[in-house]
Amino acid sequence: MTPQPHRTVLRGGVIVDGTGMPRRRADVEIAGDRIGLIGEVGERPGDVVVDATGRFVMPGFVDAHAHVDGRVFDPEVQLTLLRQGVTTVIGGQDGVSYAPGDGEWASRYFAAINGPHPTYVGGGVAELLGSYDDATALNVGYLVPAGTVRHEVMGMSTEPADAVQLAEMQRLVADGLEAGALGLSTGLDYVPGIFAGTDELARLCVPVAAAGALYVTHMRGGYETNTAAGLAEVVAICTADVHDGVRGHVSHLHVDADAAERLLADAAAAGADLTFDMYPYTRGCTLVSMAVLPPEYSALDVDDAVARLTDPVERARLRGEWFPAVADKPSLGPEWPSMIRVGHTPSPDWEWAPGLTLAEIADRRGTDVVDATLDLLVAARLEVNAVMAVRDERSVDNLAHLFALDGHTGGSDGIFVGAVPHPRAAGSFARLLSTYVGRSFGWEGAAVHLAARPAERFGLDGRGVLRPGAVADMAIVDPVRAADTATYDDPRALAVGIEDVFVNGVAVLRDGALTGALAGRGLRRAGSAAGIHSPSSHPLPLSQPAPARRGS
């Protein structure tokens, strides 16, 4: 008699399956990397049994916007994400990452955002995705970054692409999609994406539309009061005549909830198929150089930028002509030195600076804030990120309205570079559970917003739901204890209430600690040449019940 393979059985939990259907009590059988039976599972010799009594068994969450492209190999980063129930992260965000190409430019420009990749030395999307296979505890999906593509073809040119350049960029995008990329990303406040016009971006979406992939964008103009203009451009790109229509996804939608609802409805009426992600905080995080230096500095080589910032004549010009304009920015204003709190600098002489605002740094050094800011950027060779305060913190109720919208997916915009990072990296998904279940959605809706919808949207076939035959990415959630503990003063504090997580059928988190299993994969888009599975011909219903009281 052939012995039966060992199984894992999750016993006695409550299934919240991601389809929007009501939760139910059932056992779950894990057979290999797949879910077997969901129901009454009999025990047999050799079974590994996990007691899920009193807890919810949920599909692993998909972080639709994360900056972990080079940091996901770090066990501390893996632990931080898994403790929130995240089993898949989507990289290649904001138009800047390593592939295609050798990754050197992106590693320098986004050093304070993504950090370097420990093994990728060049090639393309196929090689980068391969670097994640069996090398981390989480799955990693990837978007072809349009800024990297433009840099490969045009360098830092500010000119529109000509026909030859555009054809080469389209080829790189198409190659990345064939290798398994989930779509195309743009970062239109970063270089060189800021130099790309609407028509150029629409034409880059021709292979995206043909593949049925997703256009993902950090919109132009900084969001908030500029959201209407940014969304108008997204609509124009998604509905352009040069292709048959491309689905769109807006990154970190910072805007008042009522305005978001109205603008998204207008976009739908104009024919755009849009979703969005947003994290449950109102403060952002970005490169200090982008916030306080003239835009032309972003296009300079780091050596050239540092040389200019050390020139007394240039510093005098910036002090007299540019920094008054910084004080006039609606997002900053005259209080800008106290609104920018440094999170990361690699300079040993400035290791005391993270956690302090630019105003506090200037006070400690006994210099004015312009000199302190420029000296910091020079010492760090521009590799400085910061948490950006806002004048008016958006209320929980306002954010709850935003998260309740049908197009919302969870996304942390998590950055793991720095001594004092933004707490969104360690807290976003746990906070969505602890604060917004019962306000924005019930537990069934949470599984849709955080797992099923992003998995369907990004083409992650077989993930995001619990059903027989689906990939066994699962989080076991205590509905009473699940909560974030990270704060702006203690941003690395781990979430609580999620202590057992499975990725591709393997226990990667047990009793709140890493098991050491590296079960993650580079995820290839369903339907791509590199994808293992074709897209489902029966999309899952994403119905959403009315919010239920937390813990009920």
Instruction: Say what percent of the chain tops pLDDT 70.
Output: 95
Alpha helices in 46-182 (DSSP H): 75-82, 104-109, 125-132, 146-154, 163-178
Residues 36-77 have pLDDT tens digits of 999 999 989 999 999 999 999 999 999 999 999 999 999 999
Measured at the alpha carbon of residue 297, what is the angle toward residues 422 and 279, in degrees to the nearest 5?
25
User: Which residues make Cβ contacts (< 8 Å) with residue 548, sequence separation at least 6?
Assistant: 437, 438, 442, 443, 444
Q: Which of 374, 480, 488 is CA-nearest to residue 424? A: 488
Local confidence band at 551 (pLDDT 50, 70, 90 cut-offs): very low
Q: What is the pLDDT of residue 548?
A: 44
pLDDT at 549: 37
125 backbone dihedrals φ, ψ, rounded to 5°: -60, -40
User: Residues 503-539: pLDDT tens digits?
Assistant: 999 999 999 999 999 999 999 998 888 885 333 333 3
Digit-coded pLDDT (tens) for 12-42 = 999 999 999 999 999 999 999 999 999 999 9
* 454: phi then psi, degrees, rounded to nearest 5: -65, -35
Q: What is the mean pLDDT of residues 271-287?
A: 96
pLDDT, position 541: 37
Mention every residue, 6+ apart, whose C-beta is less than 8 A from residue 94.
67, 113, 145, 147, 185, 186, 187, 190, 193, 218, 251
Residue 534: the pLDDT is: 35
CATH 3.30.420.10 fits 59-282+393-514, yes or no: no
- Give the pLDDT confidence score for residue 520 in this predicted structure: 98
What does the alpha-carbon distance between residue 352 and residue 344 come to, in Å, rounded to a whole number? Answer: 10
- Amino acid code (one letter) for 51: D
The pLDDT of 420-439, averaged and rounded, is: 98
Average pLDDT over residues 206-232: 95
| Mean pLDDT score, 200-222 | 96
> For residues 80 and 487, what is the distance between their CA atoms, to the nearest angstrom?
14
Mean pLDDT value across residues 166-182: 98
pLDDT of 395 reads 95
217-226, 232-241, 366-375, 494-503: segment of lowest average pLDDT: 217-226
- Does 499 score more than 80 pLDDT? yes
Instruction: Classify 77 as helix, strand or coil.
Output: helix
For range 189-216, the mean pLDDT: 97
Is 294's pLDDT higher than 60? Answer: yes
Residues spanned by CATH 3.20.20.140 within the chain?
59-282+393-514
Specify the DSSP element, H or E, that contains 259: helix 257-269
Residues 350, 376: contact at Cβ < 8 Å? yes
26 within 8 A of 40, measured Cβ to Cβ = yes
- Please give the share of the chain, as a percent, with pLDDT higher than 90: 89
What pLDDT is stored for residue 5 in this prediction? Answer: 58
- Whether the predicted pLDDT of 382 surpasses 80: yes
* Mean local confidence (pLDDT), 139-165: 97
Mean predicted confidence (pLDDT) in 138-163: 97
Tell me which of 547 and 365 has the higher pLDDT: 365
For the chain, the average pLDDT equals 94
SS3 content of the chain, % helix, strand, coil (to 5): 35, 20, 45
Length of the chain, please? Answer: 552
The token pair that represents 2 in the structure block: 């052939």
Q: How many CA atoms lie within 13 A of 424 on its CB side?
A: 26
**Which residues neighbour 324 within 8 Å (Cβ) at sequence distance 6 or greater?**
none
Residue 410 tokens, joined: 């969870």
pTM: 0.94
Q: Quick one: pLDDT band at residue 475, thresholds 50, 70, 90?
A: very high
